[in-house]
Amino acid sequence: MTSSSAHSRKALSKIACNRLQKELVEWQVNPPAGFKHKVTDNLQRWIIEVNGAPGTIYANETYQLQVDFPEHYPMEAPQVIFIPPAPLHPHIYSNGHICLDILYDSWSPAMTVSSICISILSMLSSATVKQRPTDNDRYVKNCRNGRSPKETRWWFHDDKVVHGRTVNVITSLHVDDEVIECTANSCC
């Protein structure tokens, strides 16, 4: 899935270009374990290969992330989705949308693509069951036509500890002014 309609493609600001070039150089020198940047000539969209960590239920599995950078990155979070087929995970919808607060409300300009990748791998590694969020079909139906996950009004209120730090995960979300409730054992 590539969501060109979901993300208006304005040219990157000078600050965004400089930051992304710096991150790309750092990635080439010190890539996060389990990830590979698929080189393209488009600085505004990165395709990243994700390898499931050894000893986890995703070991020996490979997925792809699509990272679309907005005009005002890093002041604004990038849009990060799995390119289907997305991993079966209680926080990942079949359309590739990811329930992880750092991609939305908890974004900080200090975060990098590498830190996003590490958080996503940690989320995958902590899973004990392969399943979709219980509201997957409903959510995906409401997100048809390439709707960006950044257009969803996520409501984060369930804290989990991931990789030594507290991370909020979604337990309810709003789509088209409708609240979609998730149980602790479903999407979160």
121-169 residue pLDDT tens = 999 999 999 999 888 898 888 887 667 777 666 555 454 434 444 444 4
In DSSP terms, which residues pair with 63 in a beta bridge? 50
Nearest-angstrom CA–CA distance, 55 and 182: 28
**pLDDT at residue 126 in the model:** 92
pLDDT-derived band at 69 (thresholds 50, 70, 90) equals very high
Active site residue 188: no
**pLDDT at residue 183 in the model:** 37
**pLDDT at residue 153 in the model:** 60
More confident residue, 167 or 34: 34
In the predicted model, is pLDDT for residue 174 greater than 60?
A: no
Is the Cβ–Cβ distance between 67 and 78 less than 8 Å? yes
**pLDDT at residue 141 in the model:** 85
Nearest-angstrom CA–CA distance, 137 and 168: 23
Which of 17, 99, 182, 188 is an active site residue? 99
Parallel, antiparallel or unpaired: strands 79-83 and 153-162 = unpaired
70-126 residue pLDDT tens = 999 999 999 999 999 999 998 899 999 998 889 988 899 999 999 999 999 999 999
> From residue 162, how far is each of 33, 52, 67 by CA, in Å?
17, 16, 21
Nearest-angstrom CA–CA distance, 168 and 172: 12
**pLDDT at residue 83 in the model:** 96
The pTM of the whole model exceeds 0.85 = no
10-28 residue pLDDT tens = 899 999 999 999 999 999 9
- Write the DSSP assignment of 115-135 as a string of letters: HHHHHHHHHHHT--S----TT
Which of 142, 145, 151 is closest to 180 using CA atoms?
Answer: 142
More confident residue, 142 or 6: 142
Domain 14-181: state its class: alpha beta
